[in-house]
A and B are shown apart, each in its own frame.
Chain A
Amino acid sequence: MSSQTAHTAPSAAAGHDEGHAHTHHTSTGLDNRKIAIWAFIGSECMLFASLIATYMIYKGRSLVGPFPHTEYVNEAGKVFKPILDIPVTSASTFVLLMSSLFMVLALQAVQLKGTMIPAGAGTWTRLQRSSQLWLGMTALFGAIFLGFQAYEFTSFVHEGLTIKTNLFGSSFFTLTGFHGAHVTVGVLWLMSLLWVDRTRGLGPQDELLVDIAALYWHFVDVVWIVIFTLVYLIQ
């Protein structure tokens, strides 16, 4: 990257708007960091594909319960209810979808900073420029999603399902645990951006930094969209 930074000419940069004044000139005309995040997301697709495939291959092959969608009675006569809690997971899915909305609004707020607020602009127009608000909301909703996941994992363990109980438990906790770890990284990333915004302020020149974090966050969201359907809803 340093070699490309060295080729950045002030006159060339001046040809772009303020928001892209620090764009590095490369052979593709694209910033290396954005290419890198897309390549990373592509590799993550294959990671989650392997985890999802493992879950689906093991689906319905557990010898002992608890099971995801059906009741199970063990040798001692103990009854295990279907373990998946769809209302709770639906709520956490809604929370993650809303966090994606807040993330695009945070990116838009960074892009809009420094632009004139029209005379007589309403509250919404002013809110659209508040990157701290939207970054904070995104991180908060990400943390709420993690809270839902912690509640779900804890209740599963109390109901007798651990990562060692059966094939469903092993593949379920591995898949959703990996996703939860990605959400955790995303929340920490968002909090670091929020800290930067509070200390020095994020502006149009930082658009790429926020855009890269947003791409990661939306990817985490689309992975959950797939997990929610394949793991929780399809029986």
Chain B
Amino acid sequence: MAHDAEHAAAHAHPTGATYLKVAFILTFITAVEVWAYYIPSIVASPLFNPALIIMSAAKFVIVVMFYMHLKYDHKIFKFLFTGPLIIAAVTIIALLFLFNQLSL
């Protein structure tokens, strides 16, 4: 029974309408990113780069959760993806500190 419930949960995918909404949200965020790029006062703001990174991370998470179905899938798949992803992110940040592209 537990296996059947897990199996059903692992295959509960969003509907076509959800996919269309996700596509609209992704397009909207991308449009905001590009719009901000052309506004000099926004580009000059110290918040510009963090805001871009947050928007990019949001798009990344949305695609992984809804299009790659990780939100609905088995925890082993979540572990197989997020484990290396965390190692990759930490490696990038560590290298940027090591080569003085980031500093505290």
A residues at B contact (CB < 8 Å): 15-16, 19-20, 28-30, 34-35, 38-39, 41-43, 45-46, 48-50, 52-53, 56-57, 59, 86, 90, 93-94, 97-98, 100-101, 103-105, 107-108, 111, 124, 128, 214-215, 218-219, 221-222, 225-226, 228-230, 233-235
- Cβ B63 vs Cβ A225 within 8 A: yes
Residue numbers in A under 8 Å from B19 (CB-CB): 101, 104-105, 108
- Cβ B67 vs Cβ A100 within 8 A: yes
Residue numbers in B under 8 Å from A41 (CB-CB): 80-81
A235 to B80, CA, bound (A): 33
Q: A46-B88, A49-B88, A108-B19 are in contact. List 8 more A-B contacts (CB 8 A).
A: A20-B7, A29-B6, A35-B80, A38-B77, A41-B80, A57-B101, A100-B67, A234-B52
B residues at A contact (CB < 8 Å): 3-4, 6-7, 11, 13, 16, 19-20, 22-23, 26-27, 30, 33-34, 37-38, 43, 49, 52-53, 55-56, 59-60, 63-64, 67-68, 74, 76-77, 80-81, 83-85, 87-89, 91-92, 95-96, 99, 101
